[in-house]
Amino acid sequence: MSASPWWTSRFGALAAVDPAFAGLVDAYAEAQVDLIERLAELPPGGRVLDLGCGGGRHGILLQERGHSVVGVDLSQEVIALAQENWDIRNPGVDGPHFVVGDMRAPPVEGSFSAVLLMDASLGVFDDDAEHLRVLTAAADRLEPGGALVLELLNPYFWAHRNLTQHFPPGSVAPNADILRSYRFDPLAGRVQDRITVFEDGKRRVLPTQSLRCWTPPEIAGLSSAAGFSQVQIIGSDGWQVPSGPGRLDPENSAMIWVLARL
Instruction: Classify residue 230 by its DSSP letter.
Output: E
Q: How far apart are CA 183 and CA 165, in angstroms?
A: 12
Give the helix, strand, coil percentages of the chain, each rounded to 5: 30, 30, 40
Q: Which of residues 37, 73, 197, 207 is near ligand SAM by CB under 6 A?
A: 73
Q: Which of residues 54, 95, 96, 235 is near ligand SAM by CB under 6 A?
A: 54
Pairing mode of beta strands 255-261, 230-235: antiparallel
Residue 74 as a binder of ligand SAM (CB under 6 A): the answer is: yes
Q: Which of residues 48, 69, 108, 120 is near ligand SAM by CB under 6 A?
A: 120
Q: How far apart are CA 101 and CA 137, in angstroms?
A: 13
Residue 206 as a binder of ligand SAM (CB under 6 A): the answer is: no
User: Is the CB of 40 or the CB of 200 nearer to ligand SAM?
Assistant: 40
Query: 72 with 107: CB under 8 angstroms?
Result: yes
Query: 10 with 207: CB under 8 angstroms?
Result: yes
Query: 49 with 72: CB under 8 angstroms?
Result: yes
Angle between helices 216-225 and 128-140 (to 10 degrees): 60
Residue 78 as a binder of ligand SAM (CB under 6 A): the answer is: yes
Show the site string, 9-48: x = touches ligand SAM by CB under 6 A, - = not: --x-----------x-------------------------
Q: How far is the CB of 178 from ligand SAM (least distance, A)?
A: 16
User: Is the CB of 55 or the CB of 242 nearer to ligand SAM?
Assistant: 55
Q: What is the maximum alpha-carbon separation in the chain?
A: 56
Query: How many residues interact with ligand SAM (rule CB under 6 A)?
Result: 20
Q: How far is the CB of 9 from ligand SAM (least distance, A)?
A: 9
Residue 131 as a binder of ligand SAM (CB under 6 A): the answer is: no
- Considering only residues 96-115, where is the footprint of ligand SAM by CB under 6 A? 102-103
Give the range of 51-59, 138-146, 167-175, 226-234 binding ligand SAM by CB under 6 A.
51-59
Amino acid at 99: V
Provide the edge-to-edge strand list for the sheet that holds 47-51. 97-100, 68-73, 47-51, 112-117, 142-153, 255-261, 230-235
Q: How far is the CB of 203 from ligand SAM (least distance, A)?
A: 23
Q: How far is the CB of 202 from ligand SAM (least distance, A)?
A: 25
Residue with nearest beta carbon to ligand SAM: 54
Partner residues linked to 182 by β-bridges: 193
Residue 195 as a binder of ligand SAM (CB under 6 A): the answer is: no
Query: 45 with 68: CB under 8 angstroms?
Result: yes
Number of Cβ within 10 Å of residue 144's Cβ equals 7
Binding-site ranges for ligand SAM (CB under 6 A)? 7, 11, 23, 52-55, 57, 72-75, 78, 102-103, 118-121, 124
